[in-house]
Amino acid sequence: MQSAPVTIPGRFNGPANSGNGGYVCGLLAAHMDGASEVSLRAPPPLEVPLRLTRETGLAQLHDGQMLLAEARPAALTLAAPAAPSMAEAEAAARRYRGLADHRYDTCFVCGPNRPRHDGLSIFTGPVEGRAMVAAPWTPGADLGDDDGALREIFVHAALDCPSYWALDHAGKPALLARMRCQLDAPPPRVGTPLIVAAWQLGADGRKHRGASALYTADGALIARAQALWIEARAS
């Protein structure tokens, strides 16, 4: 087993004091070959030394003795629908519910109260005539690797929150519990206009399932993900 220290920078928050679920999923998925499933066990703290362990077929994130998250290889059979057009995504983003009411309004992915260009600003709103939400997204240069390609960790992040905003439960308390993700094409170049879309898969009590996909501006599939969200227990 290999072990290495890791710290989640404060910039990559979901709730104000813990790591964005999609970012954490991407952090662990980087140690898997192909599609992966990441389960989040506890909120990962920010700016705190953590420990990432790796062995064949398993990566885990620990805070002391506490298991925060773990990743394993997985198969993803999810079928992505045809992408909305860029015009449809732009119009949908203007209907983003989180602009008016957002429990985590500084979330790295979907929070509207971030400094300009500090978060991803993926504001997915309902697409007219379709059972999905969508938004345009152009990743900034700071999200790229040395060759200018979008880092895979930010592909995972971009696919996180949209699946929540596609739920009937959207706007109410829920946290990402599990994410299965697969890249279907090489990550795009930073500065490339993209489309993010998401749709609901179903619900069972406090468990809500959604899916999301990342597309090029002309509708080619880049990546897709399936997510499990758990709503808070009634107090």
60: domain CATH number is: 3.10.129.10
CA distances from 40 to 77, 198, 229 (A): 21, 20, 10
Dig out the tokens for 87 from the structure: 């015009």
The total domain count for the chain is 2
**pLDDT (tens digit, 9 = 90+) per residue, 57-94?**
999 999 999 999 999 999 999 999 999 999 999 999 99
Whether the predicted pLDDT of 131 surpasses 90: yes
226, 188: one domain: yes
So what's the pLDDT on residue 235? 57
d(CA 1, CA 82): 42
d(CA 23, CA 84): 25
| Residue 131 domain boundaries | 86-231
So what's the pLDDT on residue 65? 95
Size (the chain), residues? 235
Beta bridge partners of 210: 200, 227
Whether the predicted pLDDT of 167 surpasses 60: yes
135, 222: one domain: yes
d(CA 164, CA 49): 29
Inside any domain, residue 80: no
Q: How confident is the model at residue 204 (pLDDT cuts 50, 70, 90)?
A: very high
Sequence letter at residue 127 = V
Sequence letter at residue 14 = G
Contact 186, 151 (CB under 8 A): no
Whether the predicted pLDDT of 112 surpasses 90: yes
| Cα dihedral 41, 197, 136, 37 sign | positive
Contact 31, 69 (CB under 8 A): no
